[in-house]
Structure 1
Amino acid sequence: MSKIRITKQFTFETGHALYGYDGKCKNVHGHSYKLSVTVIGKPITDPEAVKLGMVIDFGDLKTIVKEEVINPFDHATVFNKNTPHKELAQELIDRGHKVILADYQPTSENMVIDFAAKIRARIPAGLKLHSLRLRETETAYAEWFAEDN
Structure 2
Amino acid sequence: MNLRVTKIFELETAHALWGYDGKCANIHGHSYKLTVSIAGEVLNDNSAVKNGMIIDFSDLKKIVKSAVVEDFDHALLVNGNTPHAKYKDVENGFSKIILCDYQPTCENMLIDMVKRLVAKMPEGIILKYAKLQETQSSFAEWFLEDN
TM alignment of 1:55-70, pairs within 5 A = 55-70=54-69
Identical counterparts, % of pairs? 53
1:77 and 1:83 map into 2 onto residues whose CA distance is: 15
Higher mean displacement: 91-100 or 109-118? 91-100
- Contact 1:17/1:79 (CA < 8 Å) preserved in 2? yes
Shift of 1:9: 0.3
Shift of 1:111: 0.7
Q: Aligned residue for 1:94?
A: 92
Would the alpha carbon gap of residues 67 and 87 (structure 1) be closer, same or farther in structure 2, given more than 3 Å must change? farther
Q: Aligned residue for 1:137?
A: 135
Amino acid at match of 2:138: A
Structure 1 moving runs of 4+ over 6 Å: none
Aligned residues: 147
Q: Aligned residue for 1:106?
A: 104
Amino acid at match of 1:6: V
**Partner SS for 2:109:** helix
- Contact 1:17/1:29 (CA < 8 Å) preserved in 2? yes
Q: Aligned residue for 1:48?
A: 47
TM normalised by structure 1 equals 0.93
Shift of 1:138: 0.1
Q: Aligned residue for 2:8?
A: 9
Amino acid at match of 2:61: K
- 1:27-82 per-position Cα deviation (integer Å, ceiling 9, x unaligned): 11000000000001111112221111001111111001111111111110000101
2:69 and 2:31 map into 1 onto residues whose CA distance is: 12
Amino acid at match of 2:118: R
Q: Aligned residue for 2:122?
A: 124
Shift of 1:96: 4.2
Instruction: Structure 2 unaligned segments of length 5 or more: list them.
Output: none
Q: CA RMSD in A?
A: 1.3
